[in-house]
């Protein structure tokens, strides 16, 4: 028993480590480029998202919402979203409305109180999962191309894909800076409750302080990057329409994209039929 407890606590501690967080973030950004969702055309997904990210807000039909919800659950699974993101999603939905739902169940709430809460929970959950599918399932580079097609400025899409390239480097550097603080600093004793709280405050403090050196290091790097961008024609491309056309010519709507839309449409049609019968 003692052993399992120890294992369990080690397991939980491990999930709280920075290394784990870093791994999850990287997994989310780079680890799922071979899923069905990642292979779709970004424009199709963004259009799809315009429906599932907006329409649920304006409906209060439980069946319709439940139908949407089921669909986005499937797409989220297809996108193989990292565990941490899902955990945050569940935590988020629960802290927003879910707990009210459960509380009202306990205190003998009837259908009248439960249904509005269920509707709200479903709305939030559906829209969140649709967002997770699109923004987490699609690799940021593709996403930025898609946004550019819809007329977002070149600078925004460059920033997204540049962040995507820099992320692993920055995270590693952040980890190193944080370790410098940990090794050279002195954490307060963590005995007793007060000690534990103090320790936690200290940890949060050094995490925040670690951002300053990180920013300065990044500023130092950017000197080379700016010169390199100049030589590599970044400014030239920003004013040239042909370049945009070339960039976007890689986007192609394929059979799979049509299938994806068709299946989504079909499913919603079935839901509509069910709605009209009940």
Partner 1 sequence: MNVLEIKDLTFTYPGAAAPTLNHVDLNIEKGDFIAIVGNNGCGKSTLCKVMNGLIPHFISGEFEGVVLADGVDTQTVEIGDLAKIVGYVYQDFENQIVRPTVLDDASYACMNYAMPDYLERGRQALKNCGLEGKDDEYIWQLSGGQTHLLALAGAVSLEPKVLILDEPIAQLDPRHADLIYGILKDLNERLGKTIIVIEHHTEYIADYCKHVVLLKEGHVEWMLPTREALDKVETLQASNIFPPQVTLAAYRLRDQGKLAHDLVLPSTITAGKEAFKQLAFVEPKIQERKSQGKETSVSFQNISVSYRTVKGEPKKIYEQMNLDLHKGEKIALIGSNGAGKSTMMKLMTGLVKPNEGEIYLKGLPVHNTKPEQLSKHVSMVYQNPEDMFIKDSIEADIAYAMQVRNVADWQEKTADLLERFRLTNLKDRDGRLLSGGQMRRASLAIGVALRPEILLLDEPTANLDIATRKEIMKTLKDMEDVTDTVMIATHDMQLVSEWAERIIVLYQGRVVADGSRNEIFGNKEVVEKVGIRPPEIFTMGKVLHEDAFCYTVDEFLQSFV
Residue 90 CB, shortest distance to partner 1, in Å, is: 22
Tokens of 272: 């509509």
Residue 14 CB, shortest distance to partner 1, in Å, is: 9
Q: Which residues of 104-116 are buried (b: 16+ CB within 10 A; e: fewer)?
A: eeeeebeeeeeeb
Measured from the CB atom, is 59 or 175 closer to partner 1?
Answer: 175
Measured from the CB atom, is 207 or 268 closer to partner 1?
Answer: 207
Instruction: Tell me the chain's radius of gyration from C-alpha atoms.
Output: 23
Contact between 142 and 42 (Cβ < 8 Å): yes
Measured from the CB atom, is 33 or 57 closer to partner 1?
Answer: 33
Backbone angles phi, psi at 187, to 5 degrees: -75, 145
Contact set with partner 1 (CB under 8 A): 19-20, 23, 26-27, 30-31, 140-141, 161-162, 164-165, 168-169, 173, 176-177, 179-187, 209-210, 212-213, 216-217, 220-222, 224-225, 227-234, 236-237, 240, 242-243, 246-247
Tokens of 168: 């692993």
CB atoms inside a 10 Å sphere around CB 99: 13
Tabulate helix, strand, coil % of the chain (nearest 5). 80, 0, 20
Measured from the CB atom, is 73 or 160 closer to partner 1?
Answer: 160
Residue 241 CB, shortest distance to partner 1, in Å, is: 9
Residue 234 CB, shortest distance to partner 1, in Å, is: 6
Residue 10 CB, shortest distance to partner 1, in Å, is: 9
Residue 180 CB, shortest distance to partner 1, in Å, is: 5
Q: Which residues contact 98 (CB under 8 A, 6 or more apart)?
A: 121
Measured from the CB atom, is 102 or 230 closer to partner 1?
Answer: 230
Contact between 253 and 43 (Cβ < 8 Å): yes
Measured from the CB atom, is 193 or 231 closer to partner 1?
Answer: 231
């Amino acid at each position: 028993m003692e052993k399992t407890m120890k294992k369990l606590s080690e397991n939980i501690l491990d999930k709280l480590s920075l290394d784990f967080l870093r791994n999850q973030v990287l997994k989310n950004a780079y680890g799922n480029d071979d899923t069905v969702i990642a292979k779709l055309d970004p424009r199709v997904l963004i259009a799809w998202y315009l429906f599932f990210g907006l329409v649920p807000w304006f409906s209060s039909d439980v069946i319709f919402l439940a139908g949407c919800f089921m669909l986005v659950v499937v797409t989220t699974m297809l996108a193989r979203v990292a565990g941490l993101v899902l955990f945050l999603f569940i935590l988020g939905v629960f802290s927003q409305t879910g707990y009210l739902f459960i509380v009202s169940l306990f205190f003998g709430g009837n259908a009248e109180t439960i249904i509005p809460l269920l509707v709200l929970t479903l709305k939030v959950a559906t829209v969140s999962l649709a967002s997770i599918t699109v923004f987490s399932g699609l690799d940021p580079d593709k996403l930025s191309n898609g946004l550019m097609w819809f007329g977002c400025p070149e600078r925004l899409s460059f920033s997204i894909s540049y962040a995507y390239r820099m992320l692993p480097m920055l995270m590693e550097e952040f980890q190193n800076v944080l370790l410098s603080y940990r090794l050279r600093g002195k954490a307060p004793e963590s005995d007793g409750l007060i000690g534990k709280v103090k320790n936690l405050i200290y940890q949060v403090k050094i995490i925040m302080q670690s951002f300053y050196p990180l920013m300065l290091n990044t500023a130092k790097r950017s000197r080379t990057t700016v010169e390199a961008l100049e030589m590599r024609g970044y400014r030239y491309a920003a004013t040239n329409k042909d370049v945009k056309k070339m960039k976007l010519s890689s986007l192609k709507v394929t059979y799979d994209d049509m299938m994806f839309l068709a299946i989504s449409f079909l499913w919603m049609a079935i839901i509509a039929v069910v709605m009209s019968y009940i």
